[in-house]
Amino acid sequence: MEIKILAFGIAKDILGGANLSVELPGQPTVGQLKAHLCRSYPDFEKLASFAIALNTEYAEDEQAILAGDEVVVIPPVSGG
């Protein structure tokens, strides 16, 4: 399945742009996408954490990604 990804902050820098498409077999989960991103872009492993949102909601690793889902990579946020 083709997954279209939006990225912000440092995640955008790691991916080399705000938009990316990846192809994963079958019915991928958020965890499988995160693993793929870490393999393809090792700088993700240097982050303390990063999250995936599906359709504006934070998603757990076991959640399936469905065709047409809006997928966003959310880097760690700091502030104060």
4 confidence band (pLDDT: 50, 70, 90): very high
Q: Contact at 8 Å (CB) between 53 and 59?
A: yes
> Which tens digits make up the pLDDT trace of 23-68?
999 999 999 999 999 999 999 988 888 999 999 999 999 999 999 9
Q: Which pTM does this prediction carry?
A: 0.92
Q: Domains (ranges, CATH) in the chain?
A: 2-74 (3.10.20.30)
Give the CA angle between residues 65, 69, 75 to the nearest 5°. 80
- 26 token code pair: 């079958």
Reply yes or no on whether the pLDDT at 13 is more than 70. yes
Cα-to-chain-centroid distance, residue 39: 12
CA distance 71 to 27: 14
